[in-house]
Amino acid sequence: MRCYPPFILSTQRGFTLLEVLIATAIVGLTIPALMLLMMKQADNTGSLRDKAIATWIADNQMVRLKLERQLSQSTLRSTVEERVEMAGTEWLVITEPEKTTVGALLRYRTTVGLERDEPIVTLDGYIH
């Protein structure tokens, strides 16, 4: 039998089976948690995208109402429902006029969403 000096034996150690099992368990628990976090982040990104687009549509509707008032002196007097396509998606836009206590001032509530019962953005604006 061959004898090795003690300093060589102590530097040639590998991983024990227990260390490998613990590392595998840590990786096995971490990867699903990271995947869940990534899926949640993707959902949040989609939601923020939809909210931004719906806000643009509502803003566009308010600008359109203001321009109609300035250019043709006409105002929207009843609820209007229309479909608008933006960013490859069809959106439902509902605009409801409401009289206020201040003379000719009208309040318009514009709701934008993908479905009637699930509005994404509601924007109120006033036009006189």
Query: In this structure, is residue 10 part of a structural domain?
Result: no
**Tokens representing residue 29 in the block:** 């628990």
Query: In this structure, is residue 7 part of a structural domain?
Result: no
Query: In this structure, is residue 121 part of a structural domain?
Result: yes
Contact of 111 with 62, CB cutoff 8 Å: no
Query: In this structure, is residue 8 part of a structural domain?
Result: no
| Domain around 62 | 15-127
**Nearest by Cα to 108 from 77, 67, 73:** 77
Tens digits of per-residue pLDDT, 79-127? 999 999 999 999 999 999 988 888 778 899 999 999 988 999 999 999 8
Query: In this structure, is residue 19 part of a structural domain?
Result: yes
Specify the residue for token string 């150690």. Answer: 13
Query: In this structure, is residue 60 part of a structural domain?
Result: yes
pLDDT score of 3: 66
**What's the average model confidence in pLDDT over 7-13?**
57
pLDDT score of 120: 94
Between residues 126 and 9, the one the model is more confident about = 126
CATH of residue 41: 3.30.1300.30
Tens digits of per-residue pLDDT, 23-73? 999 999 999 999 999 999 888 888 999 999 999 999 999 999 999 888 887
SS3 category, 114: strand
pLDDT score of 83: 95
Query: In this structure, is residue 9 part of a structural domain?
Result: no
> pTM to 2 decimals?
0.68
Query: In this structure, is residue 32 part of a structural domain?
Result: yes
- The number of folded domains in the chain is 1
